[in-house]
Copies of this chain bind each other. A is one copy, B any other.
Amino acid sequence: MPEELPDDFARVGSSLVIMAKAVREAMRQATAALLGSDPALAQGVIVRDAEVDVLYRVVEDRVYEVVARRHPAGDQLRMVMTSLQVAADLDRMGELAVHVARATLRRHPSPAIAAELAELFRAMGTVADELAGKIVAALADRDHVLAAQLDGDDDAMDELHRQLFAVMLRTDWPLGVEAAIDGALLGRYYERYADHAVNIGRHVMFLPAARAAEAA
């Protein structure tokens, strides 16, 4: 039944798109929780990460099914195997959003980031959201041009990360060790989120196209 093959593959691609949308929304909400010191929003991010875990299992199951039933080889085999790696990257992006949300809860009712750092984290959240948005679009359309832009967007995150450390290491940093440690670890979570997005961009050309109806 070779005519069924595209559907099998498209279902894997569609699951990845849905997963990417979920981890984009997770970091968007986590950033809002962090900046607004909003525990309910942070709690929501943590609870909804279970959905990302379920989606990860769905991708795995669909990949197993394709391999077991279709015996793909060559490019098709690479396609399904790469899907597993991308799902792992997306799962990790979801976990990093949870780390941001947990930092918010840990410090509540105090803000988890110093007022001095709020604009930098707002900017990191914006870059993270742009990266995740491009991943959603690139996965949905197998858009190589969009995927190729991710490396450049990641440079913006690296630059913000450098600025963050420059601010905290100024001799007139007024907020002491604890606020600096929180800032450093939160900065690392955003940086790693961006790293995983770039990883995914590098994989896009090997991924199955999503089925339009499922991924919409």
Task: Check A176 for interface membership: any CB of B closer than 8 A.
Answer: yes
**In the complex, what residues of B have CB within 8 A of residue A67's CB?**
67, 72, 77, 81
Q: A64's contact among B68, B78, B168, by CB below 8 Å, is which? A: B78
Cβ of A84 within 8 Å of any chain B Cβ, yes or no, is yes
A85: B residues at CB distance < 8 A: 84, 88
Decide if A178 is an interface residue (CB 8 Å cutoff): yes
Closest to A63 in B: B81
B63 to A68, Cβ gap below 8 A?
no
A184 contacts the other chain (CB 8 A): yes
- Asked, given contacts A77-B68, A81-B63, A88-B85, whether A181 binds B184 with beta carbons under 8 Å apart, the answer is yes
B interface footprint on A70-112 (CB within 8 Å = 1, 0 otherwise): 0111100110010011001000000000000000000000000
Q: What sequence of 0s and 1s flags, for each residue 152-187 of chain A, a beta carbon within 8 Å of any chain B beta carbon?
A: 000000000000010011000100111011001100
Q: Are A181 and B180 in contact (CB under 8 A)?
A: yes
Q: Does A188 have its Cβ within 8 Å of any Cβ on chain B?
A: yes
Bound together, the chains give a CA A64 to CA B74 distance in angstroms of 9
Chain B residues within 8 Å of A88, by CB: 85, 88
Query: Can you give 6 A-B contacts (C-beta < 8 A)?
Result: A81-B84, A173-B177, A180-B180, A181-B181, A185-B188, A188-B188
